[in-house]
Amino acid sequence: MSNRAIIFINGDLPNLDAVRELIRDDDLIIAADGGTRHALALGLIPSVVIGDLDSLDAVNRRVLEENQVEIIKYPKDKDETDLELALNYAVNAGYKKIRLVAALGGRLDHTLGNLSLLTKESLAELDVRADDRVDEVFFARKHAQIHGRIGEIISLIPWGNDVQIARTEGLRWSLQKERLYAHQTRGISNEMTAEGAQIEIENGLLLIIHTRK
């Protein structure tokens, strides 16, 4: 089995070419319905396409059929979004590292819903991140490591409730035994001072947004 699963979603991609840097040869490629268009635009043939197929156009559907891609179709009237179905597929297949591509742009309700999916307790021990190579977004409960460049922006946002930070390393404004409050914006726009940053959390759920140069 490959090491990671990449899920393409039918959202906006600010820089399609930059996404090429994310893809590895051994990644499992999953398309959530209309996310097929992004995978095909990158020359990638998904291993599986999942969803109600209401956003999959006829041309891309024909490409999938010609390449004998597995298509798992769900009824249009369903409780889950196509991304949730695709994410469940990757988790049930045993993947510990999952990247969501094109999960952040487009409709605000979809973006917030996509982020909310990542707070599921069943994902707490997995490495699941939304990443379009402009922004990398993920949640942390205990610790987090971020790889990037000096000067890139790191925002730390308490999700739902306050977050007690044990310490940070590799950030311009360090936090040591301090609390980030859910109703304040103190954690916005920190900066990396090294190519790696670490965050240790005592309690709470922390949304981390890494904005690349």
The DSSP element (H or E) to which 5 belongs, if any, is: strand 4-8
Q: Beta strand pairing status for 97-101 and 176-180?
A: unpaired
In a domain, 188, yes or no: yes
Domain boundary among 133, 154, 177: 133
DSSP state letter for 197: E
Return the pLDDT at 213: 86
Query: What is the C-alpha to C-alpha distance for residues 82 and 12, in angstroms, rounded to an integer?
Result: 15
| Helix runs in 51-177, H state only | 58-66, 82-92, 108-117
Check residue 107 and give its pLDDT. Answer: 84
First to last CA, the chain: 33
Q: How many domains does the chain have?
A: 2
Contacts of 65 (CB under 8 A, 6+ apart): none
User: How do residues 133-161 score in pLDDT, each as one tens digit?
Assistant: 999 999 999 999 999 999 999 999 999 99
75 token code pair: 């009824």
Same-domain status, 188 and 84: no
Tell me, what's the pLDDT at 76?
Answer: 87
What sections of the chain are H helices per DSSP?
16-19, 36-41, 58-66, 82-92, 108-117
Looking at the structure, tell me whether residues 151 and 193 fall in a common domain. Answer: yes
pLDDT at 79 over 90: no
Clarify whether residues 152 and 126 are in a common domain.
Answer: no
For strand 48-51 and strand 4-8, is the pairing parallel, antiparallel, or unpaired? unpaired
Residue that terminates a domain, selected from 100, 133, 166: 133
Do residues 11 and 113 share a domain?
yes
Which pLDDT belongs to residue 155? 98
Q: Of 133, 164, 181, which residue is a domain's last?
A: 133
- In a domain? residue 181: yes
Report if residue 87 sits inside a domain: yes
Domain with residue 50: its CATH number is 3.40.50.10240
Q: How far is CA 8 from CA 80, 84, 95, 101, 153, in A?
A: 16, 12, 15, 5, 25
Q: Is residue 72 part of a domain?
A: yes
What is the tens place of the pLDDT at every residue in 90-127? Answer: 999 999 999 999 999 778 998 999 999 999 999 999 99
Query: Please, which contacts does 192-196 make with residues 24 or more away whose CB atoms are closer than 8 Å?
Result: 192/146, 192/148, 192/149, 192/150, 192/151, 192/152, 192/153, 192/154, 193/150, 194/150, 194/170, 195/147, 195/148, 195/149, 195/150, 196/145, 196/146, 196/147, 196/148, 196/170
The string over 158-177, giving b where at least 16 C-beta atoms fall within 10 Å of a residue's C-beta and e elsewhere, is: bbeeebebeebebbeeebee
pLDDT at 139: 97
Q: Are residues 19 and 123 in the same domain?
A: yes
One domain for residues 32 and 98: yes
- pLDDT (mean) for 166-188: 96
Query: Domain limits at 101?
Result: 4-133
